[in-house]
Amino acid sequence: MWHKLFYFILAIVLIGQFGCNGNRWDVDTSSSDLSIKIQRFELDLFEVSADGAFTEDEKEKLKIDYPQLLPLYFQGIMQFGSLSQEQSWQQLIAFTSNKDIISLYQAVESEFPENSLDAEVAQMQEGFIRYQHFFPNRVIPQVATMISAFNYSIAADDSLLIVGLDNYLGEEFKVYAKTGIPQYKFKQFDRKYLVSDALKAWLTTEFDKEGGKNMLEQMVFQGKVLYLLKAFLPEIDASIFFNYSPEELKWCEENESKIWFHFVDMELLYSIENFQIRKYLGDAPFISGFPEGSPGRVGQWVGFQIVNSYMENNKKESLSDLIVLRDANKILQQSNYKPRR
């Protein structure tokens, strides 16, 4: 059931060059009848557990209201165990009764009171309308929120997309510094990243079978996901997609040739070494061996540049054509991507 559970804690990636001369993938979203609704699981959960116990009726109501989310939360996200075991419910009670968790819940409730996510839901709906337009046979997920004690920013499973609101309380939220999470990641804990994080997580899980083994294949796969994000959320600023500061994005743009020829000269494009792939595609405060100011995830940024160049040179290609084309070498070759030294 949880084969698509997506560990998306703060590994957000970004898009670089956004065209400003029209949107090739423009869609009239006003004609769609798609409606995204959001379920506030954390509000319901803490309401019924406020007295430190669950009645059988309360358990049944949670099961009815959250038939997919509740077992996923128990077993996949929080690892309490099966819904059928009383011990699992006792672990849930211990969780919701913990003073630190209650304080965290109160912070979430204060930052995101009921009906306060209308703008994010509307933006997410626009994105999924465009997604449905270009991929009409793909599932549109039910969206819900939760708190998971910082374990997950986003979790995705089959037809469900869950946002961990405790990972979007703002860079200055003091509790983050006490969790052991590296400080450089705090800037990503901001509400402004919520929508793009959610759609990126969903696209990644939907198309994860298309990933690759070597560096180039993974760069191109991530570039495809980012290219889709650009098409589906065209109004979002580039730095938001990348989870970069404006200065970090500018660094990538100014050092594009240095990044690219580092991959070429070091013969990294066809590397299958996991540590190298993580170094250049994973989240990091900087890339060792690069000039000062480098952000992490530069491999994903270059992957987008390659895919963007490919689509610019192949105007007849659709988004679905792009996704099904799994030959990363062909995409690179036909992209004519080669920054000047």
Domain ranges of the chain: 29-206, 210-335
Query: What pLDDT shows up at residue 7?
Result: 42
10-residue mean pLDDT profile of the chain (341 residues): values are 45 37 82 96 95 91 96 96 95 96 98 96 97 96 97 94 98 94 92 95 86 89 95 91 87 94 95 94 91 91 97 96 95 94 78
Strand 38-40: give its sheet, edge to edge. Answer: 38-40, 142-146, 160-164, 154-157
Neighbour-count burial for 159-197, b at 16+ CB within 10 Å, e otherwise: ebbbbbbbbbbeeebeebeeeebeeebbebbbeebbbbb
| Closest CA relative to residue 76, chosen from 168, 150, 148 | 148
How far from chain centre, in Å, is Cα 340?
A: 32
Query: What pLDDT shows up at residue 291?
Result: 83
| Closest CA relative to residue 253, chosen from 203, 216, 295, 200 | 295
Tell me the residue length of the chain: 341
Query: What pLDDT shows up at residue 209?
Result: 67
Neighbour-count burial for 92-117, b at 16+ CB within 10 Å, e otherwise: bbebbeeeebeebbebbbeebeeeeb
* Cβ atoms of residues 220 and 331 within 8 Å: yes
Which amino acid belongs to residue 131?
Answer: Y
pTM equals 0.90
Burial class (CB in 10 A: 0-12, 13-18, 19+), 91: middle
